[in-house]
Structure 1
Amino acid sequence: MILLQIPELRQPADVVVIGLIGSELQLPEVSTTVLPVPAAQAAARYAADEQLDAAAGSLHTLAIPGAVPSTVLIAGLGAASATELRVAAVAVGRRIAALPEGKRVSVALDAPAERDSAALAEGLVLGGYRFTLPSAADQDPLHTVNLVGDVDRAGLTAGDEAADAAGWARDLGNTPAAELTPARMGELAEQQLTPAGCKVQVRDEAWLAAQGFGGVLAVGAGSAYGPRLIEVSYKPRRRAGSPALKHVVLVGKGITFDSGGLNLKPPAGMRMMHTDMCGGAAVLAAIQYAAMLKLPVQVTALVPAAENAVSGTSMRPSDVITQFGGRTTEIGNTDAEGRLVLADALAYAVARLKPDVLIDIATLTGAMRIALGTETAGFFANDDGLSGALEQAAEDTDEPVWRMPLEHRYATLLESPVADARNDPGSPGGITAALFLQPFVADVAWAHLDIAGPARSEQDGPLLSRGATGFGARLLARYLENAAAS
């Protein structure tokens, strides 16, 4: 865990981080207490003699025996764009997190623009992320990092909050399903978001049944852990005479474990299914960001949470269920469960919450992972303005997305002789899943993000972490920030 601070006084450090662009070291005007002249000269000679790699994310260590600092860490910054600063800072954060606790660290990197400072803070905090089980949280070492370069405080605050939110999304995704039941996910949302100024309501099976959430109830029917609808609202105060706040509703798939149900997944496909609630984690993280920064935009986050398990009460292929609002679905494959819970939540949002914008995010289809790989999310939108806003947020946060076509010629694949639609229309899987959801959003501006690829990773990447990556949390946070400013 990394805590960022800007010290009032420059203190000696055991490790000082400086940047490299091309063959030139970037040495901010810092006190010689932090980087004494001999250490700076030694670093400059080392960079020149060794012709160090300056690509963003490259790190070079210079040990200085008997001196303070005892270590100078030279970080390649590429051309020092916001993207490259973020990548470089992640690498630095990972190196800092590996240091023994108690080491004094100063980061002497210049990032005067707000966007650059946000990227620097995001990278350092994300790089320092380590998952520990809730029962062992006190074992996560704390590393305090002093920022001594030219930085923008507002940018640092925004970047720090975005990374904290994404880190919480990673924690939720990495928690084993035995510890993160639907009810427990609701409890954690209440504990985390109520102090931030949000209202949290966790609805149980009785409420879901009374309201007609047939999809959520069907998916959760086979589990000993009952389903929940987690509803979180953030509504800032509106100044007298000011325009009405835009209302954005975020819906995140919250399948806390997906066995596939009676259409059981193979063992290899089940291994990471405790991360099948990463869409839900992303929307909870995004509303946390909005509340912490007090953004002038109304946000509601909905997480339909359920465990898709196997038992004598599991939903069956050929069952017909009634979704919220009355639309019916024929179950052709119990492993196509995500769209069933999303459909209920989307219909509820339209009927009860009256959103201006509706965005859902889910680890929904293997087809999207095949189409776009493990670093890019696919998305569908019925509104070009919303599409452009999401693409801008993705570019700003380096969480890449690619717009896919809502091709209605495939709508006939959803036809069922016994219901309004079937849940297993087949290939092209990503498109037909989006087409299944579209009737539930009516004419509201809507986007559907399929993060099946980048939501989880087998190894650390330049930005993404091994396990649950938190993908989508920063993207949605930036979207909300931009929406509040528009």
Structure 2
Amino acid sequence: MPTKLVDVEVATTSRRNVPTVVLAATGPALGPGGDDLDASEITGKAGETVRHRDTEVWTLGVGTGSLGDYRTAGAALARALSGDDAPRTADVLLTPDFDAEKVRAFVLGAALGGYRFKVTAEDGPKRVGSLRLVAGDPGFEEVLTSAALKAHALATATSLARDLANAPSNVKDPRWLATTAAKLADKVPGLTAVVRDEKWLQQQGFGGVLAVGGGSARPPRFIELTYDGGGAEHLVFIGKGITFDTGGISVKPADGMHLMRTDMAGGGAVISALMAVARRQLPIKVTGLVPCAENHISGSAYRPGDVVRHYGGATTEVQNTDAEGRMVLADAMAYAVRTLSPDLVVDVATLTGAMKVSLGLRTGAVFTTSDELAASVVEAGSRVGEKWWRMPLLEEHVEAVASEIADYKQCPPGPGGIAAALFLQKFAGDVPWVHLDIAGPARSEKVYDEVVAGATGFSARTLIELAESFSRK
């Protein structure tokens, strides 16, 4: 860890004795290098790969030329150039209309399309190690190179988020996740990591984290990553770090429980985003918080009906121990608001099955009271190939958050995703806040675009792009 990705460079000359990739748009319309090719087998559909007989020439469909088509094409190429006869490298002959945005999309797809995570004694399948994007106009080489480097940085963050979420939970307990994040941070100039244990959590009053982690023999941890690149804005990203979720006493059904190793996908996205922000030396201050715990069943597990006191003193009436994510996020949010003086708090979590029903498995949910912040997240996601949809914080359900025996109800009645967001909103205070529910797109059961089966790394790129957009203010 982290998984090695396909390297990409931009140049103005192609190489001898290297496989060549000719781009084909819908039609088909062949790009440079395609004059002598037989187009009878080609449609130009995005992701279509054809190796021409007795040659080292491939055609790659780029569809209508949308950014999504270029991501799909890049990913398809990485998958096609794999197997026993995979070349070490290949040249991709760019069409004259290639600009920075198209390069970013193509490189993102190419870098991530060949991603593979498998714990095995066998060697992994061979795959292409590098690609050279050959631009016809030397004047654009510097611009396209810059775009390719940014795309590769985004892909590296996505890959790390996938690695962390895919890691099996017999290895990935709270201590392992925190220690791994700290070790990775030590290698990045300007990024510092502090890991707090259960004793510190007890002293500081992190009742939510301690309650959720109380049923496990492997105690909770709290990760704080800090990067200060200057600038006026201080962003705090908070990621749910539940390294395995049985549901606790409100136990989950057996079907699908094995997927709960990815229930810390939000925390993985925050960790990888902080790495990328620091590596790119963005002129902004960003703090990443990841409350880590295992939600298990035992005699020391927390119960429905318990009243838990969070960091800062607010209390929550527990109604369902499987709604553990909001319990640990509440502590981290209260800590951020009270101690870090943030200009914006963004929490990200695989929080509610309700959002999988509402938005499906490829779109994340955005909750905030700010039209401007909602637009910023949606636009940031659009630029990096992640889809978001704003959900309402319905005023008629606000009163339902109040509890008769505590300050708040953990699971207020009403629409599940909205009710969870309304609960979290209580811990944001007066600080601008965005809640991102990634329960749907954090995992995939099949391959599509640049996504492979397993953890997707969804939201890491959006967090990085959001930080960059704030750094320009």
Please tell me the TM-score bracket, short chain as reference: over 0.9
Are the aligned partners of 1:130 and 1:140 in contact in 2 as well (CA < 8 Å)?
no
CA contact (8 A) 1:132 1:140 kept: no
- Structure 1 residue corresponding to 2:289, chosen from 289, 302, 311: 302
> Per-residue deviation at 1:72?
2.1
Among 209, 212, 221, the alignment partner of 1:216 is: 209
Match of 1:192 in 2: 184
Specify the alignment match of 1:96 in structure 2: 81
What SS does structure 2 have at the residue aligned with 1:106?
Answer: strand
2:199 paired residue number: 206
Q: Aligned pair 1:144/2:130, yes or no?
A: yes
Q: In structure 2, do the counterparts of structure 1 residues 220 and 134 end up closer, same or farther at CA, with 3 Å as the change threshold?
A: farther
The letter of the residue matching 2:146 is: A
Which residue of 1 is the match for residue 225 of structure 2? Answer: 232
Report the alpha carbon displacement of residue 421 of structure 1 after superposing the two structures with TM.
1.1
The equivalent residue for 2:65 is 80
Secondary structure of 1:12 counterpart: coil
Q: Which runs of 5+ in 1 are unaligned?
A: 29-34, 239-243
Counterparts in 2 of 1:10 and 1:159: CA distance versus 1, 3 Å: same
Matched, 1:256 2:243: yes
The correspondence of residues 31-110 of structure 1 with structure 2, limited to 5 A, is: 40-43=34-37, 46-47=38-39, 49-50=40-41, 52-63=42-53, 65=54, 70-98=55-83, 100=85, 102-110=87-95
Hey, what does 1:155 align to over in structure 2? 147
User: What is the CA–CA distance in structure 1 between the aligned matches of 2:405 and 2:26, rounded to whole Å?
Assistant: 66
Deviation for aligned residue 1:138: 8.6
Please name the residue that 2:399 is paired with. 412
Equivalences for residues 349-428 of structure 1 within 5 A: 349-428=336-415
SS at match of 2:63: coil
In structure 2, the partner of 1:436 is 423
User: What is the CA–CA distance in structure 1 between the aligned matches of 2:17 and 2:288, rounded to whole Å?
Assistant: 43
Counterpart for residue 183 of structure 1: 175
Equivalent residue in structure 1 for 2:318, among 331, 347, 352: 331
Instruction: In structure 2, give the amino acid aligned to 1:435.
Output: L
Aligned 8 A contact 1:18 1:74 in 2: yes
What is the CA-CA distance between 1:459 and the residue it aligns to?
0.8
- What displacement does 1:82 show? 2.4
The one-character-per-residue Cα deviations of 1:235-262 (angstroms, maximum 9, x if unpaired) are 11x4xxxxx4311110000100000001
User: For the structure 1 residues 421 and 137, does the alpha-carbon distance in structure 2 shift closer, same or farther, using more than 3 Å as the test?
Assistant: farther
Q: Is 1:118–1:158's contact at 8 Å kept on the other side of the alignment?
A: yes
Separation in 1, partners of 2:123, 2:212: 32
Q: In the alignment, is the contact (CA less than 8 A) between 1:287 and 1:299 conserved in 2?
A: yes
What is the identity percentage for the equivalent residue pairs of Structure 1 and Structure 2? 40
Two-structure CA RMSD over aligned residues (Å)? 2.0
Report if aligned partners of 1:93, 1:125 keep a CA contact under 8 Å in 2: yes
CA distance in 1, matches of 2:170, 2:123: 17
1:20 match: 24
Paired letter, 2:51: T
> What is the Cα deviation at residue 395 of structure 1?
1.3
**Amino acid in the other structure paired with 1:115:** E
Question: 2: CA distance between counterparts of 1:287 and 1:137?
Answer: 31
In structure 2, the residue matched to 1:317 is: 304
Shift of residue 73, structure 1, vs aligned partner? 2.0
Q: Deviations over 1:135-163 (max 9, x none)?
A: 98998866122222355111000000000
57 and 350 in structure 1: CA distance in 2 versus 1, 3 angstrom threshold: same
The reply on whether 1:169 has 2:161 as its aligned counterpart is: yes
The number of aligned residues is: 461
Letter in 2 for 1:162: L
Deviation digits for residues 345-375 of structure 1 (CA, Å, limit 9, x no counterpart): 0111111111111101000000000011101
Amino acid at match of 2:57: V
SS in 2 for 1:334: coil
> Which amino acid letter does the alignment assign opposite residue 118 of structure 1?
R
Deviations 1:215-236 (A, max 9, x none): 0010000111111111101111
Whichever residue aligns with residue 88 of structure 1, its letter is A
1:177-201: CA deviation from partner (whole Å, max 9, x where unpaired): 1111111111111122221221011
Q: Does the Cα contact within 8 Å between 1:215 and 1:344 map onto a contact in 2?
A: yes
Letter in 1 for 2:241: G
Flag structure 2 segments of 5+ consecutive residues without an equivalent.
none
For 1:328 and 1:98, locate their aligned partners in 2 and report how far apart those are by CA, in whole Å.
56
8 Å contact kept, 1:2–1:97: no
Residue in 2 aligned with 1:128?
Answer: 114
Which secondary structure does the structure 2 equivalent of 1:191 belong to?
Answer: helix
Distance 2:44 2:411 in 1: 49
Name the TM-score, length of structure 2 as normaliser: 0.93
Tell me, what secondary structure is at the counterpart of 1:271? helix
Q: Equivalents in 2 of 1:297, 1:98: separation in Å?
A: 43
Please give the secondary structure, in 1, of the residue aligned with 2:303. Answer: coil
Q: TM-score, normalised by structure 1?
A: 0.90
